[in-house]
Structure formats: structure tokens, C-alpha cells
Structure 1
Amino acid sequence: MVVAFDTKTLKEKERVTVEGAGPTGLTVNERTGALYAADLNNDRLIELRHGSATPRYIPAGDGPISVSLSKNGRTAYTADQTSGTLSVVDLHMGVVTKSVAPGVGALSVATDERSGDVLVVNRTDANVTRVDVKKGVIEETIATGTNPNHVEITDGTAYVVDKSGATATEDTITRIRLAH
């Protein structure tokens, strides 16, 4: 299920249950207010629009666990944990237009609004891959800590959370300055 909260009062506003779904990562299109949840169980995105009583389902890659949007909000990118791919999804047409294999263990995805490039955290490979999604090619692979878990981009800098594990005893953050 996906639950909406009022950010001022922190009270629950609405709850949408999608039977059999496994929602994982979320993102919101700030222009339209539409919410997109990666559905790990069903290889799709769940789109919830304000005022709509039923969700729309959009195909994604194999095992989407994280989702990010293009700057214009017309394209979604999913980190597909099962297949280890990045899927490029045309939200209007409701189809996957490209699939890129950035590395093993795709776990998190973020969009650099300045360049349009997409960063994918590859947990098993312990790196982040920068992908030119228009061309569908890998531009760069950057080593991180042992267990990269999540990536966020702001003001030309990517921040990657590295979770502690058997070989690392502390959580760390890797900072990556992106080229303009």
C-alpha cells in the first residue's frame, strides 16, 4: 500500500492498497503531483494521480526497486534489482524504451537535472554508474564504499550512502562532484 500524509500535521490523509504489489522506491512529479512507486513484485510502476480512484500500471524492468524522473517528468528511470539493469520508461506511452546494464546489484537511481544523466547505485559491484540515457550508454563508473545503498543528487553533487556490513564497520557517505 501507499500512504499519503499531511506534511504539516503528519496525519494520514489517504491510503491506497494495491493487492499483490510490493511498492519500494517512490518519486513525485512536482509539476503534475503524480506519484510513482516501483513495484518490485510485478515489474511495473504504480502511478497515482490526484483525484483518481484507481492506479495506472506501467511496465518497467525486471525487479524495479527505485525510481527517478527526468527533469520534464515525461520519463521514468528504474533501478531493476533482479536483472541489474536501468530501464528508461516513457510514461505517456507506458513502455520501456531502453534498458542499460550498469552493473551488478542495481539498487538506487537518481537524475542529474543539470545534465540529464542518471546515476545508478550497484550494490554488488560497489560502485555508481553514470548513464547517458538519451544514448543508452554508460559514461563513467565510480567506486564507492563496500555496500552502496542509496544515491541523491543536489546542486551538481551526488551523495551515496554506503551501509556497514561484514567488511565495513561504519556507515559512510561518498560525495561525487558531477561535471556540468
Structure 2
Amino acid sequence: MRSESIRYLIVPGWHGSPDDHWQSHWHRTMPGSARVEQQDWLLPRREDWVAELQRSIAASVEPVILVAHSLGCITVAHWAEQAPAALLSRVRGALLVAPADIERSGCPEPLRNFAPIPRQPLPFASQLVGSDNDSAATAARAVEMGRDWGSETAILPGAGHINVASGHHRWEQGFASLYRLQSRIERSTRRRA
């Protein structure tokens, strides 16, 4: 995004992202980043999480790229479904990492109020990164969410939930997905110019 200043908005999932999570590392190291801070990380309420994401986007004077993980991805999809056009136009794209399938059997009870998962295409560019052994979403469900949302989708082998438990503390390899998304956004912007 060479022609405009961008705010990277980190959108954590359930329990937030602890200090050793890759999202926290990215927040500390990426210039122009901010983080959505939810009031209740343990008992998430869809309406509250969507409203806080909206406040965070509205507070940014720069255009934003969303960097979401797990339940944060579902929050982004719910927000995009009902967001006002003026705020939607501020979002240049979204990196959606390890989206949680909150419709799966055995889904933790506190997450179920986020169902159903929105199925309409996101109105901005998106890159979805899943894993073939994620306990929060099978590879097939991640691909289905990506197809529904119009995302370019990549399924990583053996990456788990792409969190601290699966060994993803800094996740430097994830920057390749972010750069791929930014390149798509830049190409699209040049075509419209």
C-alpha cells in the first residue's frame, strides 16, 4: 500500500491474543497497527464484539486492513453483513486466519451465539488461511467459508489452530499471506484508477 497510509487492525479471537501469540507480535512490530479490545474475552457476545469492531474501524483516520484470528474472523463477517457503506469503504481488505467453525458439533457454548456464520461475499478483498488439522474448523469448512466470503484461500499442512498451542508465536511466514493480500488490493486499486 505504497500510495496511502494504512492502519492494520488486529482482531483477536476468543480469550484475546496473549503476549506470545503471533497477533500480539505483529501488533508490536507492524507500524500503523492497532488492536480491537473487547470488554469480555471469555464470554463473547456477538453484538458487543461487532459493535467494538465497528468503533475501532470508525476511530481510524486511515483506511484499514483487518488481521483477524479464529472468532475474530467470524466477527468480521458479521460486521460486514450489517456495516454502513461509509465504514465498509474504509476497509481495504482482511487477512482471516484459522476461522472458527462455530456451527460445528462440540463448539464451546460461549461461542454459539455467533451462529449462524454469514455466507455472503465480503465487500472487500480477503485472504483466508486455514489448516488441515485445526480443531476449530476442518479444512473443508475453512474452504467453504472462504468460498462463501469470496476469499483467496490457502490451507496449511499441520499448522493446527495457528496459535500459541500450535507453535505460532511470531508466525513470520504469515506475512507472506498479508503481502499477497496487499498486492491484490494494489492491483485492484490500479485497475480502478
- Identify, as 1 or 2, the structure richer in helix: 2
Short-chain TM bin: 0.3 to 0.5
Taking structure 1 as the reference length, what is the TM-score of the superposition? 0.32
User: Which one has a larger percent strand, Structure 1 or Structure 2?
Assistant: 1
Larger Rg: 1
